[in-house]
Amino acid sequence: MVKIGDIELPEFPLLLAPMEDVSDPPFRALCKENGADVVYTEFISSEGLIRDAVKSTMKLDIYEKERPVGIQIFGANLDSMLRSVEIVEKSNPDIIDINFGCPVKKVVSKGAGAGILKDLDLMESLTREMVKRTHLPITVKTRLGWDENSIKIVEAAERLQDVGCKAISIHGRTRAQMYKGEADWTEIEKVKNNQRMHIPVFANGDINTPERAMLIRDHYGLDGAMIGRASIGNPWFFNQVKHFFKTGEHLPPVSIKERVTAAKKHLEMSIAWKGERLGVFETRRHYTNYFKGIQDFKPFRQKLVTSDDSVDVFATLEEIYEKFNTYEFA
């Protein structure tokens, strides 16, 4: 069993990574239904929260069926981060996660996200004060370092643990790599093998097959896997991994019927959450992924991503089922 604070999780839990414009409540719900053990919100700007920016505050929406759920915030200003903790607590999440890993320029340029990897003292002090400010467990998601010449993740993890961080998720790339090259899990293994570490250490980055998840567990000895891009268009990934762990075999490819059902449910939940116009618009980005790899799909994709009326979208999804229900995925 793995614990984040007092939260008990199964052995080798699978976590849904916080992903901008992806891990919203509808997508998190689908992943939860399909085996995710912990889900995280999109990352939320501490500055946006204290300004009461609509885009930031809407990301605080969480639902009982998601639990345990973590709200992730980012920032580099201590006062703003502490004030945002108080705002986040009102949404009653199970976990507050600090983003010390986002590599995007607009975040890094403010010293936030992966930008803080240049200043481990600030990383430590921010975490310490946030731990003091809340009764909720604080976790951290970060990267190996700023670049290959400044990988100090073993030291960083130890310092974060010492000031009260309850778990750490590490993306196996530096900020300089962005999402290029291969994730280096050996550096994450060094964190886990540090004799002083006793909090869970989760791996993130390139865990895109059940075999790779098993490698993380059995070869690298890590406590769990945080799944990001592999879940986009494939919320079934979590159960695929668990089935493989249990049986050593792969589940059959996800059928067209399952994909259409998931797309419909996703759209219904999005409309219930954000209303017709935004619900339809914000679900568009997922359709390409749900139906990835289907030959002769372009006309249907075009209709899905240009229709403004949910009635039309649901009708198109029905058409997709009728035309492709016997389609066999490799």
- Average pLDDT score, the chain: 92
Task: Please list the active-site residues.
Answer: 102
Same domain as 261, residue 240: no
Does the N-terminal peptide bond of residue 68 adopt cis geometry, omega within 30 degrees of 0? yes
CATH code of 64's domain: 3.20.20.70
Domain boundary residue, one of 189, 223, 247: 247
Domain boundary residue, one of 218, 247, 276: 247
Domain boundary residue, one of 182, 217, 247: 247
Cβ atoms of 98 and 127 closer than 8 Å: yes
pLDDT above 90 for 265: yes
Whether 101 maps to a domain, the answer reads yes
Same domain as 111, residue 58: yes
* Nearest in space to 153 (alpha carbons), one of 219, 82, 214, 202: 202
- CA distances from residue 319 to 60, 297, 313, 329 in whole angstroms, order as listed: 35, 11, 10, 18
Whether 211 maps to a domain, the answer reads yes
What are the structure tokens assigned to 52, written together?
């009461």
Cβ atoms of 68 and 94 closer than 8 Å: yes
pLDDT tens track for 60-71: 888 888 999 999
Q: What pLDDT was estimated at residue 156? A: 96
Q: Lowest-confidence range among 171-175, 313-317, 326-330?
A: 326-330
Q: What pLDDT was estimated at residue 194? A: 96
Whether 330 maps to a domain, the answer reads no
Same domain as 316, residue 243: no
Calpha distance 111→8 (Å, rounded): 33
For the chain, what is the domain count? Answer: 2
Better-scored residue on pLDDT, 242 or 74: 242
CATH code of 264's domain: 1.10.1200
Q: What pLDDT was estimated at residue 145? A: 86
User: At 250, is the pLDDT very low, low, confident or very high (cuts 50, 70, 90)?
Assistant: very high
Whether 329 maps to a domain, the answer reads no
Same domain as 232, residue 128: yes
User: At 179, is the pLDDT very low, low, confident or very high (cuts 50, 70, 90)?
Assistant: confident
Same domain as 310, residue 232: no
Same domain as 267, residue 238: no
Single-letter code of the amino acid located at 237: F
Same domain as 119, residue 74: yes
Total-model pTM: 0.92
Same domain as 210, residue 287: no
Q: What pLDDT was estimated at residue 192? A: 97
Question: 281 lies in which domain range?
Answer: 256-324
User: At 201, is the pLDDT very low, low, confident or very high (cuts 50, 70, 90)?
Assistant: very high
